[in-house]
Structure 1
Amino acid sequence: MIDQSPSERHLPRAAQRRAEAAQASSRELPNNAELEKAVLAVLLDGRHAMAMHKVRAIAEHPLAFFQRDHRIVYLAALELDDDGHRIDAQAVAELLSRYDFKAVLERLRQQQLLLDSDQLDGLGRAGLKTLYRRGPGDDAAAYEDSALAAIGGFNAVADLAGAFAPAAGIERNITLLWDYYLKRRMITRLLALCDKAYRTPDSFSKLLDDGSQQFLELSRHSRTATVHGLANVVDETLDDIQRTINSPEIGVRTGIQDVDDKLMSLRPGGLYVLAARPGVGKTSLALKIVANIAGHSEHKHGVLFFSLEVDRKDLVKKLLSAEAGVEFKALETGVLEPHEMDLLAASASAFKQWKLDLMDVSDLTVQALRSVVKRRMLETNGELKLVVLDYLQLLNSARPDASEYEKVSEISRVLKVMARELRIPVMALSQMSRDSEKGVGTQPRDPRLSDLRGSGSIEQDADAVIFMHRTDSGDGGKSDDCRKVKIIVAKNRFGPTGECAMNFYPAKMRFEMAAREEPQEGEEHEQSYHRAKKDRANSTPGAEEDLFS
């Protein structure tokens, strides 16, 4: 027997795969006619008042059904529901007897065109209503021209109503029906992407970004909302509390004591926004937080830092300057004293033990970022504990024609969804609008949530918003050697807000906690009173004390 080469042995299998790919476009798309009948049977029965409400919460338009006649029947049910009429077989048949069949087909064709252009699922109920409601010229001239006659007359509607379908299973059935619809959408999009791969000169990374964007859009239409009973939620909550008791350090801490006192930790699934005007030092503060997490003396956590503005080598220079205490200018010019070289060598050696990954790229879409994070999570076996983005407004949207508001809204929402999906905190640096510079005289006012640049969705999606506000004169004089910066926790979804003071030394890119101000006379008395009260509450009563007085 003559041995075949590996390529010859695998040739039949490869040919088979190519044949299967060629036949994929000719297959009937996934559907279940019996499932569609079961859903329509409950609606047409007329005895289940909440059935239409449950079905419509999932299937918002007739194209959720695959069979043409089933789409027509559901279209009539939608119009009856909009008008507040009871839905049953008689009412649906009567409406379809007055609806011209060609007009119905035109309505369905318009919906299909919007579906093909990915616009149908984004329409609200008011927009969808205009697509299936009868217009002045949509009445059938005779019964033979009606939609009822086209689907087989009243007997066809009665047969649907008479199909066996328990009303108790309507929610499960409509969820399965919507799942078939999403599978059809997925197959259609993948086939289009495959066709584009054959025909376009676009690179693989560009096609991958397009595919990721399309899957993300599909995931938004997945009806996965579930109603949870309080008893089950209480048990799950107590389990979480017990896990926290057993392992107190569930999240990662910033290492800035006053901030950690308010945030408690960077929670898995949380989106944290660090915002400031240019030049205040938000990149340096973010690197300090990264150093506290990735370079922790006892528990080093994995961090992935995306820099869309600063080169990765410059980021390391900033880190070296802050950690070694060597001026950044000396690193840039190469004029270093021998002892500074020793400090640099010690810091560089320590950096190599950090679990920190850097990605510097100037042209990155939010979908590509999401793909990189998911891949890195798999590669590190879940050891990645923080993602930092510097900064949010420099990310690109998958839609080049999107406005600034739409782009930032999409980026903010995708970051939040990614954080919750991967159960990892995401810290996004953000610019602030020029309105934040307004104030009294030369002193700008404290920043507000409305100062976040680009979109109001940033403050809505964020679990916490931290502002950096420079409180000194900022005139570039001697005071610029040490800039006084106020750190303001303006929003905290899971705890208190507040502020603290830090000093920024721009020459060494270093942030340090500012010395606490001495309390005034009244404040000092109040603090001593509360301290004595707390000590008294924690102390053990003496034998001579009357515990019941």
Structure 2
Amino acid sequence: MATHNILHFPPPDAVAPSLRVPPHNTAAEQAVLGALLANNRIYERVQEFLRSEHFAHTAHGHIFTAIQRRIDAGQVADAVTLRGDFEGSELLTSVGGVAYFAQLLSAMVGVVNAEGYAREVQHCWLRRELVELGECIVNRAHGCEPGLEPVQQIEDAEAVLSVLAEGGNPTAQLIRARDAAQEAVDAMERAMKSGGGLLGVDTGLRGVNRMTKGLRAHQLVLIGARPSMGKTALAATIAYNAAGAGSRVLFVTAEMSAADVVARMIAAHAGVDLVEVLSGHEDTGEQLVPLRQGKVDRIVAAQQAISALPIEFEEASSPSVPYLRGRARRMQRQRGLGLIVVDYLGLLKASDAAARQSRNEAVSEISRGLKAMAKELGVPVVALSQLSRENEKREGKRPQLSDLRDSGSLEQDADVVAFLHREHYYLAKNPPAKKDNETAEDFSAREMAWLDAVDRSAGKAELIIHKQRQGPTGIVRLRWSAGLTWFHDDQDHPAE
């Protein structure tokens, strides 16, 4: 019986392999580097797939590495700053030294096309890898590694091809049920030893810990609220408590400065009103006077205690998720990382392509990126989100899942969705008005009931857990300290 060869041989006049030049595109490499030097924001569009080893020219790889290092550190990477990185070294000798940066800038075709050129650089690298793999397969088949079984050769080749199919980024290995089961039991044993049944990061809030068992690795935790509910205060409370329990925290504060956030931590730790910490004065009722020495001493002690906490802040005003991921990766690699807090999701920057489509698409991209970051780094990500005004039209004002702004993917991507609500805020700013034909007695009764409700709701807050993939939903009762702008456990009702 005749057999059919599964390989398709090239025509006889094909170029002999020994005469072929490895696939490369020098012009595309120069165009990408020139675009990056001219506009560092291009890096956000290429950093997820482009790596230094993708450049065929060694000098280009060194330049890309230098650009990457500076941008990840929050610094400017241009022809001027990079000159200092390479002067005195021989890394650019093959291209004429630091004067080569001017040539790269002139080779830039346009920043709009930079991502396309970066893809071409990566594709050329993939083709070079395929060539190398093919040569390896041929050599192994000819017996360069005696004793290696053909089946093993095929499996090795398939493994390399699988990695190349993913753009050169190795995918996670398949996990056997046996290993997953062991991991689940190990997590249970750690929870038993923790004393509080915690499976993840300690929030320091008893009710929250009871409902969630701690903020767990790989989770995206979304906390939504209307303005003035205390979103930043809750984020600072969780970060402060988590760091105090030993978790290293990256706090992304895109709205406030790091000093403003830490001022709240100092106020809470010292038990001194925030306005006094910020102004250095206290109100006696008749005049403002400098803080008494006792309060100053408490503030200084709080500053020293908080200085020792493992919290680091990112203050970029409109960072992208890829930028934050780079920051977090480096922090995890160098010092460890246990929790990421993002204040807040609405201030993060989406890619230009997503932003051009719609706000909904931009928020969806950001949400997916935060979830991917949590999974990749193996840490929980707590992201704050501002809710629409719809809850203010309802009786009781309690927020619902439909109040999430701009994107339904927020609910879909998040593992936990919780809403922060303070009834006192709405009651206090909406006193009853006398209705037409209402008697003075009836109005007085309604007003007294309102005053009683305002008094009973003062200092109280709710964290309403509307969704939790691996846990119950319900209401966590908290205490709100307006003077400290801080949240504490409600000792009477920690969780319902």
Q: TM-score, normalised by structure 2?
A: 0.60
Residue 222 in structure 1 maps to residue 57 in structure 2: no
Q: Where does residue 334 of structure 1 map in the other structure? A: 280
Cα 1:517–1:164 change in 2 (3 A) is: closer
Paired residue type of 1:222? E
Query: Within 5 Å, which residues of 2 pair with 1:319-330?
Result: 319-330=265-276
Residue 510 in structure 1 maps to residue 486 in structure 2: yes
Query: Is contact 1:213–1:398 with CA below 8 Å preserved after alignment?
Result: no
Q: Where does residue 208 of structure 1 map in the other structure? A: 43
- In the TM superposition, residue 246 of structure 1 has moved relative to its aligned partner by 4.6
Paired residue type of 1:499? I
- In the TM superposition, residue 338 of structure 1 has moved relative to its aligned partner by 1.5
CA displacement, residues 346-386 of structure 1 (integer Å, 9 cap, x when unaligned): 11111122100011121211211111111111111xx2100
Q: Where does residue 6 of structure 2 map in the other structure? A: 163
- In the TM superposition, residue 342 of structure 1 has moved relative to its aligned partner by 1.3
- How many percent identity over aligned positions? 32
- In the TM superposition, residue 245 of structure 1 has moved relative to its aligned partner by 4.5
- In the TM superposition, residue 247 of structure 1 has moved relative to its aligned partner by 3.0
Paired residue type of 2:323? A
Residue 308 in structure 1 maps to residue 254 in structure 2: yes
Counterpart Cα distance in 1 of 2:427 and 2:30: 56
Q: Where does residue 404 of structure 2 map in the other structure? A: 452
Cα 1:192–1:371 change in 2 (3 A) is: farther
Q: 324-333 or 485-494: which moved more?
A: 324-333
Counterpart Cα distance in 2 of 1:339 and 1:367: 46
Residue 198 in structure 1 maps to residue 34 in structure 2: yes
Q: 263-272 or 501-510: which moved more?
A: 501-510
Query: Within 5 Å, which residues of 2 pair with 1:408-487?
Result: 408-440=363-395, 443-444=396-397, 446-472=398-424, 473-476=426-429, 482-487=458-463
Query: Is contact 2:36–2:43 with CA below 8 Å preserved after alignment?
Result: no
Paired residue type of 1:241? A
Query: Is contact 1:482–1:506 with CA below 8 Å preserved after alignment?
Result: no
Counterpart Cα distance in 1 of 2:278 and 2:186: 48
- In the TM superposition, residue 412 of structure 1 has moved relative to its aligned partner by 0.5
Residue 356 in structure 1 maps to residue 298 in structure 2: no
- In the TM superposition, residue 227 of structure 1 has moved relative to its aligned partner by 11
RMSD, aligned CA: 3.5
CA displacement, residues 274-304 of structure 1 (integer Å, 9 cap, x when unaligned): 11101000110111111111023xxx11000
Query: Within 5 Å, which residues of 2 pair with 1:383-422?
Result: 383-399=336-352, 400-422=355-377
Query: Is contact 2:265–2:306 with CA below 8 Å preserved after alignment?
Result: no
Query: Within 5 Å, which residues of 2 pair with 1:133-172?
Result: 162-163=5-6
CA displacement, residues 63-93 of structure 1 (integer Å, 9 cap, x when unaligned): xxxxxxxxxxxxxxxxxxxxxxxxxxxxxxx
Paired residue type of 1:468? L
- In the TM superposition, residue 210 of structure 1 has moved relative to its aligned partner by 2.8
Residue 268 in structure 1 maps to residue 103 in structure 2: no
- In the TM superposition, residue 199 of structure 1 has moved relative to its aligned partner by 5.5
Counterpart Cα distance in 1 of 2:484 and 2:492: 22
Paired residue type of 2:178? D
Cα 1:517–1:506 change in 2 (3 A) is: closer
Paired residue type of 2:488? E
Counterpart Cα distance in 2 of 1:209 and 1:200: 10
Query: Is contact 1:482–1:505 with CA below 8 Å preserved after alignment?
Result: no
Cα 1:500–1:163 change in 2 (3 A) is: closer
Paired residue type of 2:243? A
Cα 1:196–1:245 change in 2 (3 A) is: closer
Query: Within 5 Å, which residues of 2 pair with 1:219-258?
Result: 222=166, 233-248=176-191, 251-258=200-207
**Could you say what secondary structure the match of 1:240 adopts?**
helix
Counterpart Cα distance in 1 of 2:460 and 2:228: 13
Counterpart Cα distance in 2 of 1:517 and 1:412: 32
Counterpart Cα distance in 2 of 1:511 and 1:337: 25
- In the TM superposition, residue 222 of structure 1 has moved relative to its aligned partner by 3.3
Counterpart Cα distance in 2 of 1:513 and 1:200: 49
- In the TM superposition, residue 226 of structure 1 has moved relative to its aligned partner by 9.2
Cα 1:227–1:424 change in 2 (3 A) is: closer
Q: Where does residue 243 of structure 2 map in the other structure? A: 294
Q: Where does residue 535 of structure 1 map in the other structure? A: none
CA displacement, residues 134-193 of structure 1 (integer Å, 9 cap, x when unaligned): xxxxxxxxxxxxxxxxxxxxxxxx99x64269xxxxxxxxxxxxxxxxxx9xx88x9746
Counterpart Cα distance in 1 of 2:45 and 2:224: 30
Larger radius of gyration: 1
- In the TM superposition, residue 314 of structure 1 has moved relative to its aligned partner by 0.7
Query: Within 5 Å, which residues of 2 pair with 1:84-123?
Result: none
Paired residue type of 1:396? K
Counterpart Cα distance in 2 of 1:330 and 1:364: 32
Cα 1:424–1:364 change in 2 (3 A) is: same
Counterpart Cα distance in 2 of 1:198 and 1:260: 50
Q: Where does residue 126 of structure 2 map in the other structure? A: none
CA displacement, residues 25-70 of structure 1 (integer Å, 9 cap, x when unaligned): xxxxxxxxxxxxxxxxxxxxxxxxxxxxxxxxxxxxxxxxxxxxxx
Q: Where does residue 475 of structure 2 map in the other structure? A: 499
Counterpart Cα distance in 2 of 1:215 and 1:196: 10
**Could you say what secondary structure the match of 1:384 adopts?**
coil
Query: Is contact 1:277–1:432 with CA below 8 Å preserved after alignment?
Result: yes
Q: Where does residue 334 of structure 2 map in the other structure? A: 379
Query: Is contact 2:277–2:299 with CA below 8 Å preserved after alignment?
Result: no
Q: TM-score, normalised by structure 1?
A: 0.54
Counterpart Cα distance in 1 of 2:176 and 2:403: 37
CA displacement, residues 434-478 of structure 1 (integer Å, 9 cap, x when unaligned): 1122212xx31x211121112111111111011111222442599
Q: Which has the higher contact order (CA 8 A, sep 6+)?
A: 2
Counterpart Cα distance in 2 of 1:193 and 1:234: 44
> Where do 5+ consecutive residues of structure 2 fail to align?
9-22, 52-114, 120-162, 282-290, 432-450
Query: Is contact 2:36–2:42 with CA below 8 Å preserved after alignment?
Result: no
- In the TM superposition, residue 310 of structure 1 has moved relative to its aligned partner by 0.2
